[in-house]
Amino acid sequence: MTRDSDVSFLEDFHAVAQIGATPAHGVDRQAATAADRETREWFRAFAEQRGWETRVDSIGNQFALVELVPGAPYVLLGSHLDSQPLGGRFDGAYGVIAGLHAAERIAARAVSATAGPVYNVAVVNWFNEEGGRFAPSIMGSSVFAGIKNEQEMLEVRDLSGISVREALAGIGYLGTDERPVVSAYAEIHIEQGRILEREGLTIGAVDRSWYTQKLDIEVLGEQSHTGATAMADRHDALLGAAKVIAKVHEVTDLFEPETLVSSVGQLTLEPNSPIVVARRVHLIADLRADDAATVLAARDQLLADVTEIADAYGLTINARDFDVRDNQHYPESGLALAEAAAAELGLGSRRIRTMAGHDSVAMNRIVPTVMLFVPSVDGVSHCEREFTRDEDMVEGVAMLAEVGWRLAHGALQAEDAGLSGTSATAAAHA
């Protein structure tokens, strides 16, 4: 790659960061909003300017196809351009824009290479990775991978009652195009943790994802007057919810430090009037650990806590498991490939776990997948001060282009066939 191509990448990255920009340098581009549409128009223009075909599937995933080997399956690179409300400008967007630039470099390199690619390259902007507006998250890639039902996902509604189907149609991105056949997937993302920064390394090769689950909790009390109801006569759903929220936090103290993360981020309160004791609170708890047994133990403890809270305050509390995601192990062959690529580029790397979910977790279910991290300053994410340095982003694009190049030569298919015999499975899934 050249210095010009790095400048071009950075210009594109910082231009996209202006779409849905917030005053404190973040972005607000929730799925299927006007700002999300605007990033999609940008993605399409990038591809069309290079003569690449673009497609949109029936769950709003957007593809740019770079044909190198007519009729061959595609090595897919990408991530998502949607964000959390007041989210950061790196999460997701970096991976898509890096993917577009990596694809361009792979295409350029193929022109003069003695051994050309055996697969095509494509870039994807997955629909609704964040799940801030429409739950569950990782929606578009999960439908693509066949682990979520498309019709059910299209009927999911946001808090104002608008469905995924309506929202996608509203921005003109409820597509009908055929999905590309994929042979491998690679994604690069900011770490959202402090490990790479602390160790002074540029690249993380993700070996597995944490075990995660959500608990959907409904606290039912009785509406009454905050002024005129004796304390003993109250069935205060918000008080019960407050006790649940505290327990969801405190359960992490029962385990080794930082082995479990657990919190409540979403809550709706009815009727939400200053002088009315609440009748109903609905909230979602998010539990994650590397070790599945830790999450399950925490969940069991919380279910016991919830029963105690219901009894103590005269409430009914319904809790159900939701969005359970097992540990996903990325293939050993992909890790070795990433380590070799980093070594060739002279980039420091290490294996790393992901606590956050990513589209690659879904894709890893159906094709050989490589998941890469670059450093996050202070490890913060899902907020406006999320930050990754330009130098690290530029190194990451080079890394993704190298990984993509090797994948386009069938690296994982060949290695898997030799090492573990999974190529038939991968091909069948693809």
Residues 63-102 that bind its own copies (CB under 8 A): 84-87
Give the strand pairing for 74-79 and 182-190.
parallel
d(CA 171, CA 20): 15
How many other C-beta atoms are found inside a 10 Å radius of the C-beta of residue 139? Answer: 30
Q: Would you say 115 or 228 has its CB closer to its own copies?
A: 228
Please choose, from the candidates 158, 155, 154, the residue with its C-alpha nearest in 3D space to the C-alpha of residue 61: 154
> At 229, which amino acid appears?
T
CB of 356 to its own copies, least distance (A): 4
CB of 239 to its own copies, least distance (A): 5
275 binds its own copies per the rule CB under 8 A: yes
Q: How far is CA 222 from CA 6, 238, 281, 352, in A?
A: 60, 10, 11, 48
Q: Would you say 190 or 401 has its CB closer to its own copies?
A: 190
132 binds its own copies per the rule CB under 8 A: yes
Which x/- pattern over 25-64 shows residues binding its own copies (rule: CB under 8 A)? ----------------------------------------
278 binds its own copies per the rule CB under 8 A: yes
Q: Which two tokens stand for residue 223?
A: 């509406």
159 binds its own copies per the rule CB under 8 A: yes
Bridge partner list, 213: 287
With CB under 8 A as the contact rule, the residue among 288, 337, 362, 411 that binds its own copies is 288
314: left (phi over 0), alpha (psi -120 to 50) or beta: left
Quickly list DSSP for 53-64.
EEEE-TT--EEE
242 binds its own copies per the rule CB under 8 A: yes
With CB under 8 A as the contact rule, the residue among 72, 110, 245, 296 that binds its own copies is 245
User: Which of positions 361-390 make contact with its own copies (CB under 8 A)?
Assistant: 379-384
Q: What are the residues whose beta carbons fall under 8 Å from the beta carbon of 87, sequence distance 6 or more? A: 26, 27, 28, 29, 130, 132, 382, 383, 384, 386
CB of 331 to its own copies, least distance (A): 22
With CB under 8 A as the contact rule, the residue among 116, 146, 172, 271 that binds its own copies is 271
Size of the site for its own copies (CB under 8 A): 74
142 binds its own copies per the rule CB under 8 A: no
With CB under 8 A as the contact rule, the residue among 100, 356, 367, 371 that binds its own copies is 356
* Span interacting with its own copies, options 163-171, 179-187, 276-284, 388-396, rule CB under 8 A: 276-284
CB of 151 to its own copies, least distance (A): 22
Q: Would you say 223 or 422 has its CB closer to its own copies?
A: 223
With CB under 8 A as the contact rule, the residue among 10, 72, 355, 419 that binds its own copies is 355
d(CA 48, CA 36): 19
318 binds its own copies per the rule CB under 8 A: no
Please choose, from the candidates 324, 328, 332, 400, the residue with its C-alpha nearest in 3D space to the C-alpha of residue 364: 328
241 binds its own copies per the rule CB under 8 A: yes
Q: Which two tokens stand for residue 322?
A: 């939701």
272 binds its own copies per the rule CB under 8 A: yes
* Span interacting with its own copies, options 117-125, 200-208, 275-283, 397-405, rule CB under 8 A: 275-283
The DSSP 8-state label assigned to residue 86 in this structure reads T
User: Which of positions 175-214 make contact with its own copies (CB under 8 A)?
Assistant: 192-194, 210, 212, 214
* Span interacting with its own copies, options 3-11, 119-127, 174-182, 270-278, rule CB under 8 A: 270-278
Q: Would you say 10 or 276 has its CB closer to its own copies?
A: 276
The H or E element that residue 166 is part of is: helix 164-170
Q: Would you say 124 or 281 has its CB closer to its own copies?
A: 281
Q: Which two tokens stand for residue 412?
A: 């994982």
Q: How far is CA 353 from CA 86, 134, 194, 195, 397, in A?
A: 26, 26, 12, 10, 20
d(CA 272, CA 268): 9
Q: Would you say 114 or 160 has its CB closer to its own copies?
A: 160
CB of 258 to its own copies, least distance (A): 5
The H or E element that residue 108 is part of is: helix 93-112
Q: Would you say 169 or 261 has its CB closer to its own copies?
A: 261
Quickly list DSSP for 277-303.
E-SEEEEEEEEEESSHHHHHHHHHHHH
Q: Would you say 111 or 231 has its CB closer to its own copies?
A: 231
The H or E element that residue 187 is part of is: strand 182-190
CB of 261 to its own copies, least distance (A): 6
Q: Would you say 137 or 349 has its CB closer to its own copies?
A: 137
